């Protein structure tokens, strides 16, 4: 009897131990010192997703340093000096004072005004891009490279209507960055602005692409801006806007600000437009654009754009266009904005015949216009600029 009671006792506690062990293995395998491995599937297992916000396996913090190191050596600081008559000496132009002034008369007395900006080396032969407003009126231009070397620069050509200029320096072993394909950009892409804000030295700021194809902002005649919230300040103009791969996607050009400092709305000229201007200036000494000799404004009617004025004797005038005419299509392409038509005309080679369709009052009209080369002295047509960096 005692043996039977002992057998029941042992059996009960063995059963309890098995149940407890099973529960531990099932519910808390980590208590055993080794986590159970999940079943493997070598057939169709999805690729592991990488969280870019977490440190990589190496233990190093996540960084965009490689992208910046790729482009930063090609971004230069630009210092300009312009000579203006010194107003303090306008009444001192006399022979008696000439000797006292060391042989320099008042006409020769000048005040040296300096300004700063940025630029991008785009070829090994020393061509660099910057903004037209950075070097406008400059008597001397000095370029300082990221490695500390410096050299005087000469102006190869400028294009005020896109606010770009091409300079050249004579220095050996130059770093340079080609311009990337702007069509790969997407809103939300991480970008970096590299330049010389306030003259403190080369600086990198981070943001995203806020918008693409921004036009009718009132900065330039030809606009197709990349908008970004990367901080752009005075001195950044002409510097590079790069993507996370270190590719140059734009030339920083302006900020939207009443104070003149960054407000999170900056604009860069896209790389494809900059490349077109660069090629034209290097090859032809100027930018060649199509032109019809008409002032175009938005239409208040059913669509299209309206002719506000026609230059007498110009291509539009010879084609029969008149003030008040509305243009709806250009060689079959729908015209929705002034910038659309202006950009399309500018891309046409001089001498090409194009067909414009629209209306005069209620009557449909069709005009055949011979494109001419856009004159380089149309600065009066350019809009007034807000504060520029």
Q: What is the maximum alpha-carbon separation in the chain? A: 142
Does residue 100 sit in helix, strand or coil?
helix
* Coil, helix or strand at residue 245: coil
Strand partners, 20: none
d(CA 74, CA 154): 18
Active site residues: 133, 163, 237
The strand pairing partners of 267, in sequence order, are 227, 254
Alpha-carbon distances, residue 272 vs 80, 150, 167, 251 (angstroms): 27, 28, 18, 10
**C-alpha angle with apex 224: 70 to 166, nearest 5 degrees?**
55
25 to each of 12, 14, 18, 33, 210, how far by Cα in Å? Answer: 20, 17, 11, 11, 53
- 54-75: string of b/e by CB count within 10 Å (b at 16+)? eeeeeeeeeebeebbebbbbbb
Q: Compute the distance between CA of residue 189 and CA of residue 272 in angstroms, rounded to an integer.
A: 18
Tokens in use for 171?
A: 């220095």
Backbone angles phi, psi at 289, to 5 degrees: -130, 155
Beta bridge partners of 289: none
Residue whose structure tokens are 């299509």 = 329
Q: Which of 261, 265, 162 is nearest to 207 (CA)?
A: 265
């Amino acid at each position: 009897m005692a043996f039977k009671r002992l057998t029941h006792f042992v059996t009960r506690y063995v059963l309890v131990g098995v149940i407890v062990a099973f529960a531990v293995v099932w519910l808390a395998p980590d208590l055993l010192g080794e986590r159970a491995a999940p079943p493997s599937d070598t057939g169709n297992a999805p690729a592991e997703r990488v969280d870019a916000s977490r440190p990589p396996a190496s233990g190093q913090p996540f960084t965009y340093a490689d992208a910046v190191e790729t482009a930063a050596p090609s971004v230069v600081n630009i210092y300009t000096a312009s000579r203006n008559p010194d107003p303090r000496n306008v009444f001192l132009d006399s022979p008696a004072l000439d000797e006292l002034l060391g042989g320099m008369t008042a006409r020769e007395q000048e005040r040296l005004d300096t300004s700063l900006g940025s630029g991008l080396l785009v070829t090994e032969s020393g061509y660099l891009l910057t903004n037209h407003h950075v070097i406008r009126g400059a008597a001397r231009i000095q370029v300082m490279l990221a490695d500390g070397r410096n050299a005087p620069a000469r102006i190869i050509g400028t294009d005020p209507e896109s606010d770009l200029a091409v300079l050249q320096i004579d220095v050996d072993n130059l770093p340079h960055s080609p311009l990337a394909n702007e069509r790969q950009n997407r809103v939300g892409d991480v970008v970096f602005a590299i330049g010389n804000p306030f003259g403190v030295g080369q600086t990198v700021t981070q943001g995203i692409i806020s918008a693409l194809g921004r036009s009718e902002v009132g900065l330039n005649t030809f606009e197709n801006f990349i908008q970004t919230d990367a901080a752009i300040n005075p001195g950044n103009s002409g510097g590079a806007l790069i993507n996370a791969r270190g590719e140059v996607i734009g030339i920083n050009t302006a900020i939207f600000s009443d104070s003149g400092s960054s407000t999170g709305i900056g604009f860069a000229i896209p790389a494809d437009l900059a490349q077109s201007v660069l090629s034209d200036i290097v090859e032809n000494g100027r930018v060649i654009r199509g032109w019809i000799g008409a002032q175009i404004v938005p239409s208040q009617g059913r669509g299209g754009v309206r002719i506000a004025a026609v230059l007498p004797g110009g291509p539009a005038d010879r084609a029969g266009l008149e003030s008040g005419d509305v243009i709806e299509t250009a060689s079959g392409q729908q015209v929705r904005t002034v910038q659309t038509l202006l950009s399309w005309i500018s891309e046409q080679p001089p001498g090409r015949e194009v067909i414009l369709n629209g209306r005069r009052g209620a009557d449909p009209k069709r005009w055949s216009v011979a494109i001419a080369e856009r004159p380089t002295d149309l600065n009066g047509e350019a809009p007034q600029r807000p504060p520029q960096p």
